[in-house]
Structure 1
Amino acid sequence: MKCPYCNHPDTRVIDSRPADDGNSIRRRRSCDVCGKRFTTYEKVETIPLIIIKKDNNREQYNRGKIETGILRACYKRPVSAAEIQKCIDRVETKIFSLEEKEIPSSTIGEIVMDELKKLDEVAYVRFASVYREFKDVNTFMDEIKKILDRGNA
């Protein structure tokens, strides 16, 4: 592993342990040249997952896009970074447990909304308003009424 500080090609592993998500290994490394330490994560390489977009274009799965969407939905909400990461991990686990090579983006959107509904209702409504492309205030209010009705049931 190349050192991110001095670009020396050889580094030593000081410590290895399972990462918090249980799906990767966290390694502490040290550079023999500059002496700096850094952390790397090792994940099992999976079959590339292809996402079928609304316009039928296809692109490779990108965890960063899910992360960006959830972070935007949770902006200025009382949700910790750890809770957000766990939410993203759950979404990703559900996606890969489908064991499909190609998945429609609509399926991923529904999985994200299910997880956001459990995490924070305001974040859920924010995400849904963009994802479902609410055209007017009435559509937005219908979604909020569903949440309120569920809470009263």
Structure 2
Amino acid sequence: MRCPFCANDDSQVKDSRPTEDATAIRRRRQCSSCGARFTTFERVQLREITVLKSAGDGGEPRREPFDRMKIEQSVALACRKRGIDREAIDRLVSGVQRQVETLGEAEVSSRTVGELVMEGLHQLDSVAYIRFASVYRAFNEAKDFEDFAGSVREIAEG
């Protein structure tokens, strides 16, 4: 494993343990060159998945490799300052990744991935859910927020 500090290719594993939800192995490593310590995560990847992103102009969709980090960053941003622990976010992202992998498709639409994330956030935190939806569904006006928040409130009360 390459050291993120000095780019040396040799490091030693000092400690390994499963993550809380047992979907990955957390490894503490130490660089044999500079002595820096860093953490890596090892996850099972069932297959290579391509995400189809729709072209805004109605043209040909773009294809990108599935990137777990993009989902992690989006979810973390939606959950910012909400008091949601990192483990809960990691469980949500792992769940989305598992669902995408078990669809059995080599290609999945970005819409499907977004809906899976929204479903997970809806169960985790309503404010994070609305934040994510505002970007994902491209709210343009305050009325869009009001309408969506009203529908979330109705679901919670009903």
Q: TM-score, normalised by structure 1?
A: 0.82
**The structure with more radius of gyration:** 1
Match of 1:82 in 2: 87
Tell me, yes or no, if the aligned pair for 2:50 and 2:63 is still in contact at 8 Å. Answer: yes
Aligned to 1:104, which of 92, 101, 109?
109
Alignment of 1:18-97 (within 5 A): 18-30=18-30, 37-55=37-55, 56-97=61-102
Match of 1:127 in 2: 132
| Sequence identity percentage | 41
> Please, which runs of 5 or more residues in structure 2 have no aligned partner?
56-60
Distance between the aligned counterparts of 1:77 and 1:62, measured in 2?
24
**What RMSD over aligned residues (CA atoms) do the two structures have, in Å?**
2.4
Give the superposition deviation at 1:29.
4.1
Give the superposition deviation at 1:149.
1.1
Structure 1 residues 20, 57: closer, same or farther in 2, change over 3 A? same
Distance between the aligned counterparts of 1:117 and 1:29, measured in 2?
36
Distance between the aligned counterparts of 1:7 and 1:128, measured in 2?
39
Match for 1:48: what amino acid? E
Match of 1:141 in 2: 146
> Please, which runs of 5 or more residues in structure 1 have no aligned partner?
none
Match for 2:53: what amino acid? K
Give the superposition deviation at 1:12.
4.0
Match for 1:68: what amino acid? Q
Count of residue pairs brought into register by the alignment:
153
Aligned to 1:118, which of 101, 109, 123?
123
Structure 1 residues 60, 117: closer, same or farther in 2, change over 3 A? same
